[in-house]
């Protein structure tokens, strides 16, 4: 079997800052993959909002080589289980879809770094993990799993709340935390990948402090900052697992 390409497929966003940091993540993954000799071809595509879409991303790969689609998504919800499964079903090459980026303890470390950066004190502050939400119960369970992992990392209670499709909603969780701890602060840890519409909603939920998403926005120069090593490592690990799945499939068909 030929060496597989990595097709990094994000949700897509109309927010320029979000577009910039996701593009930088794909570039940083490509650079690290090349340094390790792990993969030569990395392409970025999107399942919604932006171009290129999934089909165009796969069509742009060299003819005949297999592809591992790595969802640049924190949980495996509808976009992974339905959209990506449908859009990779008959594309004229071998394709496998890897797991989503989370749950993963490396993302917990990144969340802890984001909380530290805004001065959160888990011993005194109420901590809420704010996620986008999903109609897929498995994706919601993944977020709750991340909440438990973050609670263990911080040695503190962490409430998981959602912006849409699941309960409790972030704004309600913030209000409840403030009633329960009127003298303390309410801090929201952003379990979102990038700046954009959902991060804006998170910031509007009236917490005392809202941490940055996992990919911080562009700096004053306008350049996207280097991607967190945790995200680069998770993406390359997801690719490696997908490549092993392709190899096993080829061996079974031999």
Instruction: For 43-55, write each residue's pLDDT tens digit.
Output: 999 999 999 999 9
Cβ–Cβ < 8 Å for 143, 165: no
pLDDT at position 81 is 76
Report which of 37, 114, 50 is spatially closest to residue 8, judged by C-alpha positions. 50
Question: How does pLDDT run across 132-170, given as a tens digit for each residue?
Answer: 999 999 999 999 999 999 999 999 999 999 999 999 999
Rounded Cα distance, 150 and 171, in Å:
20
Confidence of residue 34 (pLDDT cuts 50, 70, 90): very high
CB 173 within 8 A of CB 128: yes
Cross-strand pairs, 68: 6, 96
Rounded to a whole number, what is the largest CA-CA distance in the chain? 66
Q: Give the Cα-Cα-Cα angle 235, 103, 145 (nearest 5 degrees).
A: 175
Q: What percent of the chain has pLDDT over 70?
A: 98
The domains found in the chain, sorted by start residue, are 5-102+222-253 (3.40.50.1400), 105-210 (3.40.50.1400)
Give how far Cα 249 sits from Cα of 92, 102, 244, 252, Å.
16, 24, 9, 5
- Is 1 a residue whose pLDDT tops 60? no
Considering the chain, what is the average pLDDT of its residues? Answer: 94
Q: How far apart are CA 97 and CA 248, in angstroms?
A: 14
Distance in angstroms (rounded) separating the CA atoms of residues 210 and 161: 13
Whether 6 has a pLDDT exceeding 90, the answer reads: yes
pLDDT tier at 253, thresholds 50, 70, 90: low
Closest CA relative to residue 171, chosen from 142, 204, 217:
204
Contact 93, 67 (CB under 8 A): yes
Helix axes 105-117, 229-253, angle to 10 degrees: 170
Instruction: Give the count of alpha carbons within 13 A of 19, CB side only.
Output: 10
């Amino acid at each position: 079997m030929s060496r597989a390409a990595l097709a990094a497929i994000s949700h897509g966003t109309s927010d320029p800052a979000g577009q910039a940091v996701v593009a930088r993540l794909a570039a940083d993954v490509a650079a690290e993959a090349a340094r390790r000799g792990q993969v030569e071809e990395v392409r970025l595509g999107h399942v919604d909002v932006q171009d290129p879409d999934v089909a165009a991303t796969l069509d742009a790969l060299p003819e005949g080589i297999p592809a591992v689609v790595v969802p640049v998504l924190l949980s495996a919800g509808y976009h992974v289980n339905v959209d990506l499964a449908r859009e990779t079903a008959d594309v004229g090459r071998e394709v496998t879809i890897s797991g989503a980026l989370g749950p993963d303890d490396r993302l917990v470390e990144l969340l802890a770094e984001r909380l530290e950066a805004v001065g959160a004190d888990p011993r005194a502050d109420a901590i809420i993990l704010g996620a986008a939400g999903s109609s897929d119960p498995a994706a919601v369970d993944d977020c709750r799993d991340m909440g438990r992992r973050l609670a263990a990392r911080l040695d503190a209670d962490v409430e998981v709340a959602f912006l849409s499709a699941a309960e409790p909603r972030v704004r309600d969780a913030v209000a409840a935390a403030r009633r329960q701890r009127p003298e303390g602060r309410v801090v929201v840890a952003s379990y979102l990948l990038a700046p954009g519409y959902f991060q804006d909603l998170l910031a509007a939920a009236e917490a005392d402090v809202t941490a940055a998403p996992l990919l911080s926005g562009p700096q004053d120069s306008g350049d996207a900052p280097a991607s967190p090593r945790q995200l680069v490592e998770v993406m390359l690990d997801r690719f490696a697992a997908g490549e092993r799945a392709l190899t096993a499939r080829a061996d079974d068909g031999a």
